[in-house]
């Protein structure tokens, strides 16, 4: 493979079943974020009924974060052991059952337990999806494929307020959790029928398989969990995730409350602003993945292309610090939407850097490890956010300022951690003894 990431000459993208797999990953990621975001959207309604504080809500998010961290790390390793098909099915069943359980509880403790089970299952989604992309796509297409499936998180965020508003108005807030749980179980049936490894799948032609496998991979070897720390891709993902994931979790868990409290709008009026925000994030997810692929096709090295895309996305997050200061709701919506879109573009390239630098059979484990560590930090940040809002009377200024700076710092550190060229990578087993 040459430095620009192009595969063997004359190998074209024959066949299309790999995009069917991406569509399935997109759909389950959509369900994942519907389940995750429903509580944040319904928070003003449930909080009014149950009278819990911002600190209580921060503790609920913390419990989810700790469980998500455990699920991220363990389910990633589980997928590396049992395979993509079974790993993602098991994760989806666990979190779908947990989503439905939210409709059965009536206390802070009950929501905490439901969120713990939800986090354990949902932690398996991204490690497995990233491993699936690495299995089904050559290097030059991975960021785009990742951006496409990852855009499901934005569609899930978009659908959550629509489902919440409609179902709550007609059947009560509990029913919203039952609906998304059922959809997840239904998806598992389709997944088990449709998925096989590309070399075993009857719908993958020889030409498409040749295209999928057209890039030499990082040397294939079994990587013990502890040795993942010796790969630069693991550290890139840990550093990027630790700095940016807490910001993303804040957006998903508190933006509805921010708009609700600052602009005095109800659940029905909240729907359209959130739809606009998540439509923008959808564009950012696909666009960020497309951007680094476009840089590669223009002749830029793989790592330089990824870093250029990361820097572009980081720059777009900076204006969000103005969100608490503006007077009009739509100005705030556009600032937050731009920042969340940039996060998704940033995330698509951050995920892809793992598959750029790791053996395929270690990708899910590396993403799981990095995601688990960043989720622990996200959990503690949720506690800080809840207590800060209680202490300051819901003043969001400092929180948005931190969100505006985090991505720039992450990009600078990633630049330092990565080798200059993908061809400069040396597998730990091949590294000279010190």
Write the pLDDT tens digit of every residue in 383-404: 899 899 989 988 999 999 999 9
Tell whether 182 is covered by a domain. yes
Tell whether 6 is covered by a domain. no
Q: Which domain holds residue 335?
A: 17-215+225-423
Tell whether 153 is covered by a domain. yes
Residues 6+ apart with CB under 8 A from 427: 218, 219, 221, 359
| Interval 73-110: pLDDT, tens | 788 778 888 999 999 999 999 999 999 999 999 899 99
Tell whether 5 is covered by a domain. no
Kindly report the CATH number assigned to the domain that includes residue 105.
1.20.1250.20
Q: Angle between the 302-317 and 267-297 helix axes, to the nearest 10 degrees?
A: 150
**Beta-carbon neighbour count of residue 203 at 10 Å?**
12
Report which DSSP code applies to 216: P
| Interval 146-195: pLDDT, tens | 888 988 887 888 888 888 889 988 999 999 999 999 999 999 999 999 99
> What's the pTM value of the predicted model, to 2 decimals?
0.72
Tell whether 428 is covered by a domain. no
Q: How many domains does the chain have?
A: 1
Exposure string of 64-86, with b = 16+ CB inside 10 Å and e = fewer, is bbbbbbbbbbbbbbbbbeebbbb
Tell whether 349 is covered by a domain. yes
Tokens of 230: 């010796």
Q: What angle do CA 75, 78, 82 make, to 5 degrees?
A: 140
């Amino acid at each position: 493979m040459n430095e620009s990431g192009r595969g063997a000459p004359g190998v074209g993208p024959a066949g299309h079943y790999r995009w069917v797999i991406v569509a399935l990953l997109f759909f389950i990621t959509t369900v994942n974020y519907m389940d995750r975001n429903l509580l944040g959207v319904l928070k003003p309604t449930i909080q009014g009924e149950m009278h819990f504080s911002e600190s209580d809500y921060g503790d609920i998010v913390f419990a989810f974060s700790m469980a998500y961290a455990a699920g991220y790390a363990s389910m990633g390793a589980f997928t590396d052991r049992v395979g993509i098909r079974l790993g993602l099915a098991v994760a989806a069943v666990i979190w779908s059952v947990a989503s439905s359980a939210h409709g059965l509880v009536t206390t802070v403790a009950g929501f905490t337990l439901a969120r713990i089970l939800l986090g354990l299952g949902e932690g398996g989604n991204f490690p497995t999806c990233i491993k699936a992309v690495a299995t089904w796509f050559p290097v030059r297409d991975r960021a785009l494929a990742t951006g496409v499936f990852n855009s499901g998180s934005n569609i899930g965020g978009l659908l959550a307020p629509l489902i919440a508003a409609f179902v709550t108005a007609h059947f009560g807030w509990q029913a919203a959790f039952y609906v998304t749980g059922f959809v997840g179980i239904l998806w598992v049936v389709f997944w088990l029928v449709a998925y096989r490894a590309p070399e075993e799948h009857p719908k993958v032609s020889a030409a498409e398989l040749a295209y999928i496998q057209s890039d030499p991979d990082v040397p294939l070897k079994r990587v013990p969990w502890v040795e993942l720390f010796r790969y630069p891709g693991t550290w890139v993902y840990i550093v990027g995730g630790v700095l940016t994931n807490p910001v993303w979790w804040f957006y998903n868990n508190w933006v509805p409350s921010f708009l609700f409290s600052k602009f005095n709008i109800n659940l029905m009026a909240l729907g359209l602003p959130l739809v606009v925000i998540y439509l923008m994030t959808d564009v950012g997810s696909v666009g960020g993945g497309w951007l680094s692929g476009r840089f590669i096709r223009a002749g830029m090295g793989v790592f330089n292309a990824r870093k250029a895309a990361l820097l572009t996305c980081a720059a777009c997050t900076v204006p969000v610090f103005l969100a608490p200061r503006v007077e009009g709701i739509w100005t705030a919506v556009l600032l937050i939407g731009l920042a969340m879109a940039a996060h998704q573009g940033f995330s698509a390239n951050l995920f892809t850097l793992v598959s750029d630098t790791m053996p395929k059979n270690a990708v899910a484990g590396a993403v799981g490890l990095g995601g688990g560590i960043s989720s622990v930090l996200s959990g503690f940040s949720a506690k800080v956010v809840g207590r800060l809002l209680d202490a300051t009377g819901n003043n969001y200024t400092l929180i948005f300022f931190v969100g505006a700076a985090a991505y720039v710092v992450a990009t600078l550190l990633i630049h330092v951690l990565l080798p200059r060229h993908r061809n400069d990578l040396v597998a730990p087993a091949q590294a000279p003894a010190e």
